[in-house]
């Protein structure tokens, strides 16, 4: 590491050290573009939870069929893997196919979907105003009519 190194180089450098410490000297770090080159039935790699797996030999034995795995090549398949709800024994079985780690700086950031903002519905205030006036005028008209009838009947 030199003094003028970029932050991206720094992340890659430290990530390499962390992986080497946790997985030993045989740990390999792959970029997503390197993994995406292995996308055929005779050479199939996938990425799950930051680890790279060569599942070529497992394609025929996969309970969901080889198409499930082939459709997950060249991308981070963690969400696809977790959505299925694999058993603990399936997770343990995966370790034999692990060939290294993925460089996290090469995986595109996930963006959370936010629906477009809907304009607020402005209710017509005219109808509310008319109702309030009628609530005042109708009883007043009934009272006026009652007073008028009373006065008319008294004078007659």
Q: What is the pLDDT of residue 149?
A: 93
Beta strands at 98-102 and 29-30: parallel, antiparallel or unpaired: parallel
Q: What is the pLDDT of residue 94?
A: 84
d(CA 28, CA 20): 8
In a domain, 111, yes or no: no
Please say whether the beta carbons of 30 and 52 come within 8 A. yes
Q: What is the pLDDT of residue 137?
A: 94
Q: For residues 93 and 133, state if they share a domain.
A: no
Q: For residues 91 and 42, state if they share a domain.
A: yes
Number of domains in the chain: 2
Q: What is the pLDDT of residue 80?
A: 83
* Separation in Å, CA 114 to CA 92, 111, 123: 36, 9, 26
Q: Give the residue numbers spanning the domain of 141.
A: 125-156
Q: For residues 102 and 142, state if they share a domain.
A: no
Q: For residues 30 and 97, state if they share a domain.
A: yes
Q: What is the pLDDT of residue 57?
A: 86
Task: Report mean pLDDT in 10-residue bins for the chain, 156 residues.
Answer: 52 52 64 85 87 86 81 81 83 87 81 77 74 92 94 83
In a domain, 152, yes or no: yes
In a domain, 82, yes or no: yes
């Amino acid at each position: 590491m030199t003094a003028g190194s970029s932050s991206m180089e720094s992340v890659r450098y430290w990530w390499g050290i962390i992986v080497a410490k946790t997985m030993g000297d045989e740990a390999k770090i792959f970029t997503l573009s390197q993994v995406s080159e292995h996308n055929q039935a005779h050479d199939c790699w996938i990425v799950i939870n930051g680890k790279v797996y060569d599942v070529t030999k497992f394609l025929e034995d996969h309970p969901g069929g080889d198409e499930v795995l082939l459709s997950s090549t060249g991308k981070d398949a963690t969400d696809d893997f977790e959505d299925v709800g694999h058993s603990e024994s399936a997770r343990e079985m995966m370790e034999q196919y692990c060939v290294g780690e993925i460089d996290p700086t090469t995986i595109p950031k996930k963006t959370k979907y936010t629906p477009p903002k809907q304009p607020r519905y402005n209710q017509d205030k005219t109808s509310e105003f008319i109702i309030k006036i009628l609530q005042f005028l109708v009883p007043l008209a009934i009272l006026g009519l009652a007073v008028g009838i009373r006065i008319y009947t008294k004078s007659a």
